[in-house]
Homo-oligomer: A and B are copies of this chain.
Amino acid sequence: MKKSYTTVLALAFGFILIFWAISIDGSVTSFINVPSIAITVFGSFAAVVISFPFDKIKNAPIVLKNLVTKNDNNKQELVETIVSLSRLSRSQGLLALDAEIEGIENTFLAESMKMVVDGMDADNIREILETKIDNMEDRHYIGQEIFLKWGELAPGFGMLGTLIGLINLLGSLTDPSTIGGGMAVALLTTFYGSLLANLIFLPIAQNLKTRTEAEVNTNEMIMEGALAIQAGKNPRVIEQKLESYLEGGRLKEKPEATVASEEREYV
């Protein structure tokens, strides 16, 4: 699992930008107000804990680890691996794949191939793999949902804090000239709520969603490949099928495709 710090760097850059903007006409210390932070962060967190079963929330920090994980599902490489497995299977039979499974890095592909080698029938394999993909999606979905919900609730608690500040301020207003400072403090929670939502929670939720979609797509490609191997399909047909999952396709760059068309050997 290679690391990728783009997400973390962008987060740091966003915070530095905000600090810089604050410091142009003011001081960062005047933006640090413990009660304001407490209401916004812990209040919205309490609402998040109410919103989800606790065992789901416990897993949320684990999900965060994904943010520094480089998605190393190189789809191009996976296609090549699957095609070479299909060639081996066509020439030496399905059982010859048994020795290869050990060396497969991608867990989902390894599990898929083991079922193929074990002789499980195609319907069972498809059912098990589809259930796995669905459930992986569901589990990741909860992670996204937690951050999405937090991102939706944080501005609400920011506004609650500002309302508390305003009501206290207006209720005891004797000297109108002091209203400015009170308003500034009251607005701090709105600022925190908006900052948490727009720079942290909503982008993280979107990041997790995009990662899940990419992983589902990759696993569907792997499933189709494994089932095609089991069905004993022509390696070249398998290659074309799997390449339809790749970004730009490769059909055009392959001069031998014309040769292939002359052979007309597809089955």
A residues adjacent to B (C-beta < 8 A):
4, 6-7, 10-11, 13-14, 17-18, 20-22, 24-26, 30-31, 35, 38-39, 42-44, 46-54, 56, 71, 98, 107, 111, 114-115, 117-121, 124, 127-129, 131-132, 135, 138-139, 142, 145, 149, 153, 156-157, 159-161, 163-173, 176-177, 180-181, 183-185, 187-188, 190-191, 194-195, 197-200, 202-204, 206-207, 210-211, 213-214, 217, 237, 240-241, 244-247, 249, 251-252, 257, 260-261, 264, 266
Closest beta carbon of chain B to A202's beta carbon, Å:
8
Given contacts A10-B46, A21-B161, 10 further A-B contacts (CB under 8 A): A6-B49, A6-B53, A30-B168, A51-B203, A149-B206, A160-B198, A167-B187, A168-B184, A170-B181, A171-B185
Residues in B neighbouring A246, C-beta threshold 8 A: 135
B120 touches A237 (CB 8 A): yes
CB closest residue in chain B, given A141: B213
Closest beta carbon of chain B to A212's beta carbon, Å:
12
Tell me the interface secondary structure of chain A in the complex: helix
Docked CA distance A31–B135 (Å): 46
Docked CA distance A118–B265 (Å): 8
A167 touches B153 (CB 8 A): no
Docked CA distance A135–B128 (Å): 23
B26 touches A159 (CB 8 A): no
A-B contact pairs, 8 of them (CB 8 A): A53-B214, A111-B251, A121-B266, A138-B217, A166-B187, A167-B184, A170-B184, A170-B187
A191 touches B210 (CB 8 A): no
A160 touches B207 (CB 8 A): no
Residues in B neighbouring A128, C-beta threshold 8 A: 240-241, 244
Docked CA distance A251–B24 (Å): 57
Docked CA distance A180–B176 (Å): 9
A194 touches B120 (CB 8 A): no
CB closest residue in chain B, given A16: B46
Residues in B neighbouring A264, C-beta threshold 8 A: 118-119
Docked CA distance A54–B71 (Å): 10
